[in-house]
Amino acid sequence: MDIQVRKRCPQFPHGHGQKVDFTQPATMPDTDFCVDGAFLRMKGMFPDQKGMYKGRDFDPLKKVLQVPNDNLPLARTGQNWQLYHSDSHRWYYLSGMEVDDLIAVTPTPEGSVPARPTPVPYSALIMAQLTPNADCARLFPLDMEEYLEYLLEKLKPEDRRQAQTPGNGNAEAIRNLTDSIESADDSNHIKYAVSMIKSSLGPFDIFYNFLEPKFGSSRLQATRIWGMFHLSVKLASELPHPENRHVTRQLSTMIKKLGQQLDLFNQYVEAGDSDIEGMTRAALEVHAHLADFFVASIVLLREHSLEPRTLVGNQDWMDEFKRILSDMESTLHKVEQRLTQLDEGQANDVELQKRHSSGAEVKLPCFMLPPATDARWFDRDNITERIDKVLHPVSGQESFVSVVLYGNAGVGKTHVALKYAHMMMTSRRVKAVLWFNSETKKALQQGFTDAAMKLGLAQAGSDRHQENRSSLLTWLQTTEFPWLLVFNNLEDPKVVKDYWPSGCSHGSVIITSRNQKVRFLLADHGIEVPAFRPDSESEFLVHLLRAEVSADIGNAHTKIESARQLSEYLSGHALAISFMARLVSERSWTMGEFLGAHEKTRRDIHRLQRGPASLTTIWHMSFDGLGDQSAAVLGILAYVNPDSVPEEIFTKADVKSLPSCLENCTDEGRFSAVLEPLLTLGLVQRDKEAKTLSTHRLVQMHYRSFLAANPKKRQEAFDQAVRILSDGFGKVQNQLHDRWAQSQKCIQQIVSLKNNFKDEAEDPDAHHPTLQFCWLLSNSARFLLESGDYVELNSVLQVAESSFHRLSPEEKGKGDHILADILNGMGLWWAHRGFFSRALPHMRECVRLRAAAEPKDWVAISWSEVDFRNVLASTGSFSESLEWELEAEQTRRNIPDDEVNIKLSSVIHQNIGRCYMFLNDHNQAENRLYLAVEKGSQNWAMLAYTFFVLGTLSRRSKEYPTAAQAYYKAQKMWLQGGNRDLQTHHFNGACMYKLGCVADDLGESEIAIRHLHKALVVAKLKKADMAGDYARVVFKLSRVLEKMPGYEKEAADLAAEALFIRMARSLTVSGDEGQDQPPSDSSLGLLTASSQDSGTGLEERSSSIDEEKPYDDMVYIMWR
């Protein structure tokens, strides 16, 4: 046995997943294995020597190899160390050496390491059976049954018999055993231990369901692992009291950790379905590790059974467990690295595919336009011709061109753009025409998502807004086909900034806007759309009434004269003329009858005139004839988003909460009848395929004006909009993660309702806010908080607060819980952005209001305490926060609802564990976090947050592979659990940041840089609101880059930027009596001047920052 054996494998680089060649010297010649691994390798080398290892031990020795050229230290002993190429570590193969040749070298001890009587082969043997593309039968490296025999020989005969008893070899036997243990002893120690063991059975079962079919039960002998599992639990529980409780709990904690490793491996198997053989090889290693653990545990339990006290916290047991756990973590870490390489290869393939997109890869032609009928097109040919000359010049030279159509409201800008878009569609001069409602960012966001899905772009999804935006912009930049975009009703250039197709070599954009500045800020050209000329407007009206005119040839001349007379009142207003024509047609009036009705209505509304007299008259004539139910629907549509309102807001409302005028809306058939007059008059448009409703902004404005004549009806319309949106959004109990998709459908409507309320607040007859309106805003604020829309969140909370203070004293008395919600939202708005001292007063007042309320709402009290404690912990007051957390456990016991209680329990355990971690009590932290995992198993968001904390705990304990696995699992649960654009959410950014940190801890700089660059992309999206999150990524990236040759300048620049942000933030915290305020331009200028005047630049100062903590302290506690 005093030999060194190595073997050259032709598939060496691929077998290990390393990008190396068959060079001399080899760039990665060696991998060192654990003690029991030596048995496996020697068995593989000498399969004919069965039985020669029985009764022997193996010890790893540090060697110096006598190689052909020099005496050089080749590697060191350890567990799964990989040796990479360096000038001091070389291995040359002998000339003429064949693949199957072996080199035997007599080792000599190095330094003070004594020679051993039975030294282990110092082996990095790359097994020929483990090469890729072999079937599973050839992946099995040796007779696993004999290896288990080798381990079982360490057990006493009776223990061997029990471990091999068939009835004990499955998960159900262990479940029955734990049930009997718990029934005999219902102490907290045993309950905890049993819950830990039971929660681990699932991962064990899934693991062996994957592995066993590949080799067969007789060869793998999985039943023996189950039998040893069963025996170890049984022996621990049979120890004398009270040691049995402590040891069983100790064992259950170890099993739980093994189960978590298996759970992670199972997820890797699911993610790595393209590398089944690689997964199988890794699974065999894990299988051996599990056998090692249970045999070692049984041996120790037997050895110390007479003195069970020595088992409690037994160091030998813990050391053995840590060694085995480390081996498992190393195996899983290699799997993760392999998956990362596969993922990056797939990502590169996707990126390559995007950059070479062709018509065969997307659904072309693709036309996304609002409903319209070309039979109603009239005139405006001179404008469409001008548009065409701008977008498609005679030169035929391809280039990217944009034009804005500007003019007053209602003159027909949208009509002209839609006419031109239909011309492009019918002529097939372009392959794609995409129409976007562009009044708000949310409307534009949804439009880009709809377009990406209609085109069939790779990875497009209904809830992946950021990814859809990026995919569509990339396609526009890279496709060779001509396309046309229309940004309709764009009033604020900032709205389209992130959606503008910059960098395109071709393509066309049309913008419609009332804002002439858009022409100068965005577009290459501008074309004014004027009102109709007098002769044209009468012709337009006759065009719209052509059916009525042609039906009565005898009176045609009179009708044309009447049309000319009436059109003069409308000042060329295309939309009003269109509505006038619809009224005449719908009500079967003659032109004379219409003129009479028009004059009467004009006199009636003269005192309420708010616009051109005849325009207002036309609107009022349209509205006057509506029935109560249609009028109620239009009243709601007048306050919400004008584009793409989901019909289900009406059809799925709770009929019990609706007034009688809206009851028919909940039945789709009756709702269609309610909509019919609105559709006929053109007041509302319906997209039957998408099941959405749209209303022109002028219709909304004039209907609200129409309602102003009757303040009571106006208030009723506003209240009905509030009621139906409240019903659609639903009641919130602190967390909305599982309802993001539902919330997304309502949020645009709620924001529009808020904006209309805010815009009309200065009106003497402004709407009176109601308690339900305040409730709706405070509820929607939670979704905006969770999704990270901090700008809109601030606006919603400000309107909610001002509205609440306008309530009557009686209403306020009933609404303390709503005020508490508003205060809670304001506090978290400050805290998420890193201004913790500004958050605390809001949080304290929220908790006070909750506690003072009668009767007690224990659910609301508990959730407000959870949020307050998180803010308190963010300030660094972990001891105080922990006291509150422990008190909250008592509060939670007052909640009868088991589901809510379990959810709260998970969050509280997570928060307590986090506090213990920052207070350096890692054992308590670990226990609490595992309880949080168990309690929160149905809540993907809470599980993700908990694994994130577990990752930080492992990293603080210097268990870096374990930390990486936990962060990876947190990220995976987050991305798989939600239904929104979660890849660009700041929590996903935090996961990638932490993965980068751990990779740096492990010395894997290139992997660290990849993770940190991804984190930086997300952080930049939130930079304006979450400067601390951005700064810590920039700082860490600078620290990693400075280790890389050639990146010194980039590293210094990043370090300077990070330091600047941190020092600016420190100025805001120290100023204004300790209140966090955004820094002024002058304060930032003083900071820059100070650094220059002192002779110490930011670059030099940044070199002294060698810790992450100052940057983490600027980040909300949930993402530290």
Is pLDDT above 90 for 1066?
Answer: no
CA 811, chain centre distance (Å): 39
Helix, strand, or coil (residue 645): strand
Average pLDDT of the segment spanning 753-761: 88
Q: 695 and 612, same structural domain? A: no
Interatomic CA distance for residues 1020 and 466, integer angstroms: 13
Nearby residues of 920 by Cβ (< 8 Å), 6 or more positions away: none
pLDDT digits (tens, 9 = 90+) for 221-245: 788 899 999 999 999 999 988 888 8
Q: Give the lowest-confidence range in 395-409, 417-431, 1035-1049.
A: 395-409
Q: Which residues pair with 65 in a beta bridge?
A: 72
Backbone angles phi, psi at 68, to 5 degrees: -55, -30
Q: 271 and 182, same structural domain? A: yes
Specify the length of the chain in residues. 1120
Q: 689 and 658, same structural domain? A: yes
pLDDT digits (tens, 9 = 90+) for 484-529: 999 999 988 888 988 999 878 889 999 999 876 776 677 888 898 8
CB 915 within 8 A of CB 885: yes
Q: What pLDDT is recorded for position 667?
A: 85
For residue 431, give the DSSP letter. Answer: S
CB 278 within 8 A of CB 339: no
- What tokens does 773 get? 């309106």
Q: What pLDDT is recorded for position 21?
A: 36
Last residue of a domain, one of 675, 696, 729: 729
Residue 990 is assigned to a structural domain of this protein = yes
pLDDT digits (tens, 9 = 90+) for 348-379: 444 444 444 434 468 889 999 887 544 455 56
Looking at the structure of the chain, the number of domains it has is 7
Residue 204 is assigned to a structural domain of this protein = yes
- What tokens does 265 get? 């491996």
Q: Give the lowest-confidence range in 835-844, 924-933, 1094-1103.
A: 1094-1103
CB 948 within 8 A of CB 991: yes
Interatomic CA distance for residues 446 and 686, integer angstroms: 17
Instruction: Looking at 815-939, list the stretches that DSSP marks H as alpha helix, in order from N- to C-terminal side.
Output: 816-832, 836-852, 858-874, 878-892, 898-918, 922-935
pLDDT digits (tens, 9 = 90+) for 958-971: 999 999 999 999 99
Burial 438-474 (b: 16+ CB within 10 A, else e): bbbbbbbbbbbbbbbbbbebbebbeebbbbbbbbbbb
CB 828 within 8 A of CB 785: yes
Residue with the bigger pLDDT between 279 and 455: it is: 455
Report the relative pairing of strands 432-437 and 483-488 from DSSP bridges.
Answer: parallel
Residue 739 is assigned to a structural domain of this protein = no
Report the relative pairing of strands 507-513 and 483-488 from DSSP bridges.
Answer: parallel
Q: Which residues pair with 487 in a beta bridge?
A: 436, 511
| Integer Rg of the chain from CA | 36
Interatomic CA distance for residues 825 and 820, integer angstroms: 9
Residue 844 is assigned to a structural domain of this protein = no
CA-wise closest residue to 815 among 861, 773, 867: 773
- What percent of the chain is predicted at pLDDT more than 90? 25
pLDDT digits (tens, 9 = 90+) for 56-92: 555 444 333 333 333 333 333 332 233 333 333 333 3
Q: Give the lowest-confidence range in 558-572, 826-840, 845-859, 915-929.
A: 558-572
- What tokens does 176 get? 């029955």
Residue with the bigger pLDDT between 1051 and 592: it is: 1051
Range of the domain at 398: 366-528
Q: 164 and 127, same structural domain? A: no
Is pLDDT above 80 for 574?
Answer: no
Query: DSSP 3-state helix, strand, coil percentages of the chain (rounded to 5)?
Result: 65, 5, 30
How many distinct helices (H) and strands (E) make up the chain?
47, 16
Q: What pLDDT is recorded for position 1091?
A: 38
pLDDT digits (tens, 9 = 90+) for 644-693: 899 988 988 887 878 888 888 888 888 999 998 888 777 888 888 788 89
- For residue 379, what is the domain's CATH number? 3.40.50.300
Average pLDDT of the segment spanning 30-50: 52
Q: What pLDDT is recorded for position 734?
A: 59
Q: Which residues pair with 645 in a beta bridge?
A: 693
Average pLDDT of the segment spanning 295-310: 87
Q: 932 and 904, same structural domain? A: yes
Instruction: Looking at 356-410, list the stretches that DSSP marks H as alpha helix, in order from N- to C-terminal side.
Output: 381-391
Interatomic CA distance for residues 908 and 915, integer angstroms: 11
CA 16, chain centre distance (Å): 33
Residue with the bigger pLDDT between 216 and 63: it is: 216
CB 402 within 8 A of CB 468: no
Last residue of a domain, one of 945, 980, 1015: 980
Q: 725 and 641, same structural domain? A: yes
Q: What pLDDT is recorded for position 27?
A: 34
Q: 990 and 965, same structural domain? A: no
Average pLDDT of the segment spanning 876-882: 90
pLDDT digits (tens, 9 = 90+) for 1085-1108: 434 333 333 333 333 333 333 579
Interatomic CA distance for residues 623 and 642, integer angstroms: 17
Q: Rounded to the nearest 10 degrees, what angle do helices 574-586 and 534-544 cross at?
A: 30
Q: 1040 and 951, same structural domain? A: no
Average pLDDT of the segment spanning 247-275: 81
Largest CA distance in the chain: 123
Residues 347, 349, 351, 357: is their CA dihedral positive or negative?
Answer: negative
Interatomic CA distance for residues 313 and 297, integer angstroms: 13
- What tokens does 105 get? 């070298």
Q: What pLDDT is recorded for position 44?
A: 56
Average pLDDT of the segment spanning 138-148: 53
Q: 488 and 381, same structural domain? A: yes
First to last CA, the chain: 51
Is pLDDT above 60 for 1076?
Answer: no
Interatomic CA distance for residues 969 and 929, integer angstroms: 14
CB 618 within 8 A of CB 571: no
Q: Going edge to edge, which strands form the sheet with 645-646? A: 645-646, 692-694, 685-687
Which CA distances in Å does 558 have to 299, 553, 780? Answer: 110, 10, 57
Report the relative pairing of strands 483-488 and 71-72 from DSSP bridges.
Answer: unpaired
pLDDT averaged over every residue in the chain: 75
Q: What pLDDT is recorded for position 91?
A: 37
pLDDT-based confidence at 1012, cuts 50/70/90? very high
Average pLDDT of the segment spanning 277-286: 78
Q: 477 and 463, same structural domain? A: yes
Q: Going edge to edge, which strands form the sheet with 63-66? A: 71-72, 63-66, 108-109
Last residue of a domain, one of 980, 996, 1023: 980
Interatomic CA distance for residues 469 and 449, integer angstroms: 7
Interatomic CA distance for residues 596 and 578, integer angstroms: 19
CB 637 within 8 A of CB 650: no
CA-wise closest residue to 580 among 543, 627, 533: 543
CA-wise closest residue to 181 among 190, 171, 192, 172: 190
Q: Give the lowest-confidence range in 52-66, 778-792, 883-897, 935-949.
A: 52-66
Interatomic CA distance for residues 485 and 800, integer angstroms: 37
Backbone angles phi, psi at 380, to 5 degrees: 60, 15
Residue 119 is assigned to a structural domain of this protein = yes
Q: H or E segment at 693?
A: strand 692-694
CA-wise closest residue to 240 among 304, 300, 299: 304
SS (H, E, C) 113-181: CCCCCCECCCCCCCCHHHCCCCCHHHHCCCCHHHHHHHHHCCCCHHHHHHHCCHHHCCHHHHHHHHHHH
Q: Going edge to edge, which strands form the sheet with 366-368? A: 366-368, 432-437, 483-488, 507-513, 400-406, 525-528
pTM: 0.57
pLDDT digits (tens, 9 = 90+) for 883-898: 878 877 777 777 765 6
Q: Give the lowest-confidence range in 99-113, 143-157, 1097-1111.
A: 99-113
Q: 520 and 540, same structural domain? A: no
Residue 774 is assigned to a structural domain of this protein = no
Determine the residue type at 94.
L
Neighbours of 496 (CB within 10 A): 20
Residue 900 is assigned to a structural domain of this protein = yes
- Give 33-81 as a DSSP string: --HHHHHHHHHHH-TT-TTTTTT---B---EEEE-SS-EE-----SSS-
CB 177 within 8 A of CB 230: yes
Instruction: Looking at 1042-1080, list the stretches that DSSP marks H as alpha helix, in order from N- to C-terminal side.
Output: 1048-1070
Q: 988 and 1103, same structural domain? A: yes
Average pLDDT of the segment spanning 310-326: 83
Q: What pLDDT is recorded for position 214?
A: 73
Report the relative pairing of strands 366-368 and 432-437 from DSSP bridges.
Answer: parallel
Interatomic CA distance for residues 1022 and 985, integer angstroms: 9
Backbone angles phi, psi at 814, to 5 degrees: -90, -5
- Give 286-328 as a DSSP string: HHHHHHHHHHHHHHHHHHTTTSGGGGTT-HHHHHHHHHHHHHH
Instruction: Looking at 681-770, list the stretches that DSSP marks H as alpha helix, in order from N- to C-terminal side.
Output: 697-707, 711-729, 740-759
- What tokens does 872 get? 């308190």
For residue 607, give the DSSP letter. Answer: G
Residue 821 is assigned to a structural domain of this protein = no
